[in-house]
Structures are given as structure tokens and as C-alpha cells.
Structure 1
Amino acid sequence: MIRVAVCDDDERYAGYERELVQRWADLRGLDVHVDVFPSAETFLSRYETHRDYDILLLDVEMGRMDGVTLARTIRRQSGDASPQIVFVTGYDDYIADGYDVEALHYLIKPVDEAKTAAVLDRAAQRIAGNERCLNLQCVDGIVRIPIHQVRYVDVAQKNYATVHADRDHTVKRPLSDFEPELRPAFFRAGRALIVNLNAIRRVTRTRIELTDGTVLPLARSAYEPLNRAIIERT
């Protein structure tokens, strides 16, 4: 499923944009879910706990928080895991701001259906080509982490695991649940550790040194299999 958000303070126009997205999805045979938000603030409130949108159609001229400010906030919070942002505006004065926040495209009102479909096609292609993400159900909502950012995952306590990426996220999930999602770039180095092979700088018989300086304990029985996995990976 592709999750799309439409953020526009003009109710009629937001409904029209939603229709265009649904028509595009129907023509392409795609499973798409669309949510509509009447302001930047309402979208941001939802996004802070559910960062699961793939595409954001974002009106530039809105109330207290404009679309450009919202886009910058999203990029700052989510980085590589941010949705594909498409600005929708009645003017072309904001193109430089679009480059600043890496917007996919600008659609000028009144929006043309064919142009909208072409932009959505580009967004869908980018989504399909992006690296997979881990979806973590944390206490403050769902967090999406690109898998290449994960350095390692270890056991925090029984039935809880911590994902170490740009920051640490502890979730109620057994470590074994992560293995299918993380293969083939990760190695199970014992009962309590899964490590990103691309993040390893050095391996000894008792420890793993990561490129960021982190040192992890290594079970002696895992030394030979880990070395084989590194060689096969390279």
C-alpha cells in the first residue's frame, strides 16, 4: 500500500486533489490510502506519531505554518525516511524553497490531472527504488528507519530489543523477528545480537568493532561464521 497525505486548507481543492490521487491509483492498479489534512499543524500532529506516509501533496500558502516550513520540519525530523513531497501552489515564487527541501515537483493550481499523474508516477518509482525500512511501533508512535542506517540490534531485556541507528529505539519485539527483515546484510552474532556487516571495521575472537567506534562482545562460536559472512558479503 502507498500512503498519501493531502495537506491543503482549501477544503474543496483538497477534495479535488484526493480524487486525482484515487483516479491515478485506479488506473495504475495500485492500493493507495489517502488522508486529507486542513492545515500544516494537523498534519504535523499526526506525523509526529505515525511517520508512515510515502507521498505528501503539500499546499504552500496556508495559515500560521506554511507548506515550506512544514517541509523543512519533516526533513529535519525524518531525513532519508521522509515522504516524497510535492508542492501544490498558485504561484511559482517558491521554486528555490522546493530545491532547499528536496521537493519532488511543483504543481501549479489549477492542477492538471495528467501532470499530477506523471508526478505521482515519479514518486511511486522513487518509493519502489528506495531501500527498505524497519517500521517500529514505539511508545510515541510508528517510526520508520531505513535499514542501511541500522548499525546493530540487541536484546534490551526479555521480549524487548533495541535498534541502534541515528538514535536508539527500544521496542517490544523478540530479536528473532528482525532477522527476516534485515537479511542479507546483517548477521546474527549470538542470542542477543544482530549486526550490520557493512558497519563492521574489525573482528577479533571476542569482540566486534564498528566503524563508529562501538565495540560489541562476540561469542567465540560466532567468530568463524561471522568472518565467512563478511567475506561472502564483500
Structure 2
Amino acid sequence: MHLKIAICDDDKVVCAQIESMILQYAQESGFDVTIHIFYDGSSLMEGIQNDDNFDLIYLDIEMDGINGVDVGMTIRDKLRDHKMQIVYVSGKGQYDRQLFDVQPLLFIPKPIEESKLVKSINLAREKLALTPKLYHYKKRKEYFSVWMEDIIYFENSGRNVKIMTIDGTDLFVGNIKDIAKEVLPYGFIQISQSIIVNYNFVSKYSREEIILINKEKIAIPKNKRNGVKEQFLRESDKHL
């Protein structure tokens, strides 16, 4: 499992400490992790609204400006994201009742103990393993979410990306390179520089092309065939 984690605290020492503990535990436990660090709530919200979708957030409660409560409520109420796991970090021993409306995974007191951080990571991994993943995208000033398991493929379409789902198609501004970083760990295969498909919607695979369940055929470029084969073998092993 690949974890995409955000750390948001106005104390740079705390951020560095959490990052170091996570990286060490990830190495010891054999899972991949990507960590993004933010030093205030507004930059974290900007990152999330610019399609940085995190699996797990370590969020300081007491910050100037947009605090941890504001961030959590925005994620849950405005973005309607209840899959993102939030761990609140605080130097206080008592918590406002409003925090519980955010449905945090855990509260971790400062100074941070490694055992509590490890516990939070393990809980998040367990929950995420059981939770279908959402893909978020933005059109103009509106935000949309779709279950990854319902996405058939992504395809470059000029300056836009076409997303084909079981419910139809949509267009949004984006690029395949960024999308690949987000979805490839979740059962998607990059066929070319312009197309990413969901393995579960492939009905037939050959060296030259794939055929989707909807009978659509997608050619595999010659220079991508070995790489596509490796991806298919890797996904096939997961389903054995």
C-alpha cells in the first residue's frame, strides 16, 4: 500500500519529527509513503483544493489563521470527504466538542511518542484498506468526486483530461502525468503518455492492444509494450 500523507503544523521542529518517524516506520514495515509538509492551515487547504488528495493528515489544532478545526470542518462539510483520515496533534489535554464532529482517527498529544504515531499509521492503513478510494477533480470553481473503482479510464484531450466512468464521461483541466502519480497505486495501468486504464475494466489483453469491457479497443504503442506487460503482470498477481 502507498500512503500519501500531509503534515500540517506551524512548528517546523514538530513537522520534521513526525516526518522522520513516519519515514523510519515505513522503511521498517515495507510500505511506500509520500509526505507533504505545510506550516499553516491555508497552505494545506490550497494544496487539497489543487487536487492534492491525502490518505492521512497530521493536523495541529492550534494554528494562527485557519486552525486545525477549520481545516477539518472544511474537509468534511465543504469538500464532503469522509475518507481522508485526520489525526489531530495538540499540546493541550482537553479538546473542543467541535473537533469530534470532524471524526478524527486519533488525537496525539505533544510531545509526540513514536508508539502513538505508529498506532495512528496502522489504524489508517487498516481503514484505507477497507475503504473505496475517491478521485477528486476540479472544474472551474466546482469540485467533483468519483469512486476510483467506477473509473474506466483517463485520456488526454488537448488541454483537458477526459474521464470515462460507468456513468458517462466528463472533462477537466489536468494532465496524465499528475493523475498517474495518484491512481497507479490503486489498480490503474498507464498504456501510453495519454491513456490510463482501470485494470478491472480490461476484458482482454494482448501485446498490441487491450479491449475494455465496453468493447472499446486501445492500442499499445510499441515502445510501451514491455512496460505495460510488467504492469499487467503486477496487477494480475494481486488478483490471484
* Category of TM-score, reference length = shorter chain: 0.5 to 0.7
> How far 1:134 moved relative to its partner?
4.1
Q: Which residue of 2 aligns with 1:25?
A: 26
> How far 1:111 moved relative to its partner?
1.1
Separation (CA, whole Å) in 2 of partners of 1:111 and 1:169: 44
Mark the CA change 1:114 to 1:180 in structure 2 (over 3 Å): closer, same or farther.
Answer: same
CA contact (8 A) 2:133 2:148 kept: yes
Listed as ranges, the matches of 1:53-132 within 5 Å are 53-80=54-81, 82-94=83-95, 96-132=97-133
What code does the residue aligned with 2:86 have? Answer: I
Separation (CA, whole Å) in 1 of partners of 2:98 and 2:27: 32
Separation (CA, whole Å) in 1 of partners of 2:114 and 2:96: 21
Which moves more between the two structures, 38-47 or 24-33?
Answer: 24-33
TM-score normalised by the chain length of structure 2: 0.62
CA contact (8 A) 2:83 2:131 kept: no
CA contact (8 A) 1:52 1:144 kept: no
> How far 1:169 moved relative to its partner?
4.4
Separation (CA, whole Å) in 1 of partners of 2:201 and 2:139: 18
Listed as ranges, the matches of 1:58-207 within 5 Å are 58-80=59-81, 82-94=83-95, 96-134=97-135, 145-147=146-148, 161=162, 169-171=170-172, 180-181=199-200
The unaligned stretches of length 5 or more in structure 2 are 177-194, 204-211, 217-240
Structure whose CA Rg is larger: 1
> How far 1:112 moved relative to its partner?
0.8
Mark the CA change 1:19 to 1:177 in structure 2 (over 3 Å): closer, same or farther.
Answer: closer
SS at 1:2 equivalent: strand
| Aligned residues with identical type, % of pairs | 21
Separation (CA, whole Å) in 2 of partners of 1:146 and 1:51: 16
TM-score normalised by the chain length of structure 1: 0.63
Q: Which residue of 1 aligns with 2:14?
A: 13
SS at 1:122 equivalent: helix
Separation (CA, whole Å) in 2 of partners of 1:183 and 1:94: 49
What code does the residue aligned with 2:126 have? Answer: Q
What code does the residue aligned with 1:67 have? Answer: G
The unaligned stretches of length 5 or more in structure 1 are 192-234
Cα RMSD (Å): 4.1
SS at 1:86 equivalent: strand
Question: Structure 1 segments of 4 or more deviating over 3 A?
Answer: 132-140, 150-153, 157-166, 176-184, 187-191
